[in-house]
């Protein structure tokens, strides 16, 4: 089956995997009879050639008449669609698999002119499962950045310092290593609600969660790590939760190997949490965010959240998968505890990519 | 006309404009009879409520039965599509305008179940033309970051320093102010080819172009500025080109006001360059990248390149547009000269957002 992707490599993990270079303007990439091609501007041609020397470049101006279309009064936007169609015809693509995110406008134009397209999520997810050596090196660099952030926060953490101040300190520590987008420093009851950025001064005994996903600048790959900290003596319930979360994390890590299914590890974690009286997605409590309300983890690579899943429908691991395991316990209005590790699935088990204490 | 956007706010400028907060997981946003709604997870609900207090939230678990679907054996991916359909039915959306980038997979699912969708690029481009006060403040902060990078490079520039070393220096100067993705420090013949990142040691007399588009961390808006530098005395042809490029830039800035069309300014620039014997897109030379081969500029905001255009089809400016003007001259194998400024279209003319010398 031929393949088409219409995207830029900054926003599209599917395309970044095929063209390992940062290209901000969208272009059409394809494979016909297994041979890759791309419809490129003269500006981006050298960068793409360097990243994929085997790729056949079709120049949208010199080969496909983009300027003549615009000179004839076609809008640049319509002309870019027509150029994509002309490339498919020139290369010989009449039917292709596309990712779920394929832009509707391009799909409608190609289909209206006789090209058949099939959305095929599994195909594109599967391509990114086993990381390339370059992608794995990128995840390792991003993880070094994440650990620098965790260490800086651990060093700076004291009663009264605010989440906002801690965010600045973490960012300064991470950015020499990797880019850092949105991330959370949550405290007290904020740690129960998840994705908010966090605010206000840290109090003694309350949980503080740092969850961050730095992105390697060369490859665009992410890491994703979280730890829970406490200033002074932890609230006894938080301490008990933390012990249990670390136990579940270590048990899951010990059971990772190719062929084991993400759903099995999720079920093991639920068994343990439910035995201690916590709600899970399998046995929901009264509140949506209560007990262990999330999945156990996810693949990570050119997206922060990608295949495989470690939730209720998690598939079998492959050697070369990079996954996170992130058990979480919470109660609305009170707080939460999370520890998240990133690891590589090897032929025989798992290799921790991160190396940072779990201690509160 | 109702509206639907299915995206995350990191990658989608259309959605970030409606929900001014960073949300990494995709969700469905819509407007029915002018009233905004979104299908959200409990994790993202607080952040979205803070960014858009007027928005009606539909919880995908509590309101739309996501967990029951998964418990019944529906894959999480299919369940997310079904939840989007259920939200449209519950809110009452039966027909909607969508951006060109709307994901094909969601479009197919909604259409298969009776929802009519129309791609409407102009509608979504137009929404982002007049910047909100928050977006404009973000562009100003990103511009301060860009200028810090230009200044750091100017201070560090000397014979023998490499493009790679300069890139590190620029990044360190920009990142305290704004995020910085891909950017170019090109030297000598590299300055003629455009988007490559640049490499090797700087030589006396050759042009060095720094082109960078930092992104404000709070709002996700970009700036976009470029300057050409030379160590020692410039090659006489480079000096002549630079004088002409600055003349064309200043002439264009002097003619910006609401109602003036981008194509008029592009034509003025072509008139001037062609009078000096340079090829343009209107009168192409032998090589694709020769003379003035690009447009004169573009809008900038939540995308680096957005409406309005300052090329052959450039539309009329509106008060509140933010645009860049970036005349460029080049010859393959020799080099190029570019100066790029960012400015706000005001009621009566233009206000420069950047403030940095044009001097070589």
Out of A43, A44, A70, the one facing B313 most closely (by C-beta) is: A70
- pLDDT value at residue A61: 82
Contact flag A305-B25 (C-beta cutoff 8 Å): yes
- pLDDT value at residue B195: 54
Out of A281, A293, A304, the one facing B24 most closely (by C-beta) is: A304
| Partners of residue A42 in chain B, C-beta under 8 Å | 193-194, 288-289, 293
Mean pLDDT per 10-residue interval, chain A, length 360 residues: 96 95 92 96 87 92 85 86 96 97 98 98 94 96 97 95 95 93 90 78 95 94 96 94 97 97 97 96 83 95 94 93 97 93 96 90
Contact flag A179-B182 (C-beta cutoff 8 Å): no
- pLDDT value at residue A25: 87
| Partners of residue A121 in chain B, C-beta under 8 Å | 77, 105
| Partners of residue A312 in chain B, C-beta under 8 Å | 70-71, 76
| Partners of residue A179 in chain B, C-beta under 8 Å | 179, 181
- pLDDT value at residue A70: 81
> Which residue in B has a C-alpha nearest to residue A197's C-alpha?
B47
Out of A50, A196, A284, the one facing B47 most closely (by C-beta) is: A196
- pLDDT value at residue A14: 96
> Which residue in B has a C-alpha nearest to residue A305's C-alpha?
B25
For residue A2, report the phi and psi dihedrals to the nearest 5 degrees: -65, 165
Domain boundaries, chain A: 2-128, 133-352
Helix (H) or strand (E) holding B32: strand B27-32
- pLDDT value at residue A194: 59
- pLDDT value at residue A359: 87
Interface probe, candidates B41, B60, B101, chain A, greatest A C-beta count within 10 A: B101
- pLDDT value at residue B113: 97
Cis peptide before B115 (omega within 30 of 0): no
pLDDT in tens, B122-135: 999 999 999 999 99
Q: How far is the alpha carbon of A47 from chain B, nearest alpha carbon, in Å?
A: 5
Mean pLDDT of B180-197: 83
pLDDT above 80 (res B243): yes
- pLDDT value at residue B159: 94
| Partners of residue B102 in chain A, C-beta under 8 Å | 103-105
Q: How far is the alpha carbon of B40 from chain A, nearest alpha carbon, in Å?
A: 12
The ipTM estimated for the assembled molecules is 0.86
- pLDDT value at residue A2: 97
Contact flag A182-B309 (C-beta cutoff 8 Å): no
Rounded to the nearest 10 degrees, how much is the dihedral formed by the CA atoms of A94, A95, A101, A105?
40
| Partners of residue A24 in chain B, C-beta under 8 Å | 181-182, 304-305
As assigned by CATH, the class of the B133-352 domain is alpha beta
- CB under 8 A, 24+ apart: contacts of A291-294: A291/A329, A291/A330, A291/A331, A292/A327, A292/A328, A292/A329, A293/A328, A293/A330, A293/B42, A294/A326, A294/A328
Query: What does pTM read for this prediction?
Result: 0.87
Q: How far is the alpha carbon of B68 from chain A, nearest alpha carbon, in Å?
A: 10
Contact flag B10-A175 (C-beta cutoff 8 Å): no
| Partners of residue B59 in chain A, C-beta under 8 Å | 288
Q: Smallest Cα–Cα separation from A218: which of B182, B172, B173?
A: B182
Out of B76, B289, B311, the one facing A311 most closely (by C-beta) is: B76
Out of B10, B25, B46, the one facing A196 most closely (by C-beta) is: B46
The share of chain B scoring above pLDDT 70, in percent, equals 99
Do the bridges between strand B297-299 and strand B328-331 make them parallel or antiparallel, or are there none, so unpaired? unpaired
- pLDDT value at residue B67: 80
- pLDDT value at residue A24: 84
pLDDT band per the 50, 70, 90 thresholds, residue B194: low
| Partners of residue B175 in chain A, C-beta under 8 Å | 175
Q: How far is the alpha carbon of A292 from chain B, nearest alpha carbon, in Å?
A: 13
Mean pLDDT of B30-52: 92
Contact flag A312-B71 (C-beta cutoff 8 Å): yes
- pLDDT value at residue A77: 87
As assigned by CATH, the class of the B2-128 domain is alpha beta
Contact flag B46-A289 (C-beta cutoff 8 Å): no
| Partners of residue B22 in chain A, C-beta under 8 Å | 181-182
Contact flag B107-A102 (C-beta cutoff 8 Å): no
- pLDDT value at residue B140: 97
Summary mean pLDDT of chain B: 93
Out of A46, A100, A117, the one facing B193 most closely (by C-beta) is: A46
Contact flag B195-A44 (C-beta cutoff 8 Å): yes
């Amino acid at each position: 089956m031929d393949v088409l992707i219409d995207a830029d490599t900054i926003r599209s993990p599917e395309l970044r995997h095929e063209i390992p270079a940062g290209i901000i303007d969208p272009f059409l990439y394809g494979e016909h009879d297994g041979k890759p091609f791309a419809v490129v501007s003269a500006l981006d041609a050298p960068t793409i050639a360097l990243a994929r020397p085997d790729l056949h470049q079709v120049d949208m101006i010199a080969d496909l008449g983009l300027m003549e279309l615009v000179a004839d009064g076609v809008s640049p936007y319509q002309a870019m669609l027509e150029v994509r169609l002309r490339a498919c015809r020139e290369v010989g693509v009449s039917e292709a698999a596309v990712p779920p995110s394929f832009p509707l406008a391009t799909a409608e134009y190609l289909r209206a002119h006789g090209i058949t397209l099939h959305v095929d999520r599994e195909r594109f997810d599967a391509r990114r499962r086993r990381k390339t050596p370059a992608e794995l090196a990128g995840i390792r660099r991003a993880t070094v950045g994440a650990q620098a952030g965790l260490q800086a926060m651990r060093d700076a953490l004291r009663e009264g310092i605010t989440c906002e101040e801690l965010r600045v300190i973490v960012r300064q520590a991470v950015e020499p290593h990797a880019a850092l987008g949105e991330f959370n420093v949550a405290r007290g009851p904020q740690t129960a609600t998840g994705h908010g950025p966090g605010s206000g001064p840290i109090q003694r005994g309350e949980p503080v969660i740092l969850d961050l996903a730095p992105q390697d600048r060369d490859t665009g790959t992410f890491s994703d790590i979280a730890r829970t900290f406490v200033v002074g003596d932890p609230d006894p319930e938080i301490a008990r939760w933390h012990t249990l979360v670390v136990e579940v994390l270590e048990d899951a890590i010990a059971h990772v190997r190719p062929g084991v299914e993400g759903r099995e590890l999720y079920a093991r974690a639920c068994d343990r949490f439910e035995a201690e009286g916590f709600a899970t997605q399998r046995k929901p409590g009264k509140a949506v965010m209560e007990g262990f309300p999330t999945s156990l983890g996810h693949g990570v690579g050119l997206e922060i959240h990608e295949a495989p899943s470690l939730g209720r429908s998690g598939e079998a691991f492959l050697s070369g998968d990079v996954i996170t395991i992130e058990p979480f316990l919470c109660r609305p209005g009170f707080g939460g505890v999370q520890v998240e590790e990133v690891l590589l699935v090897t032929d025989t088990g798992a290799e921790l990519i991160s190396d940072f204490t779990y201690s509160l």
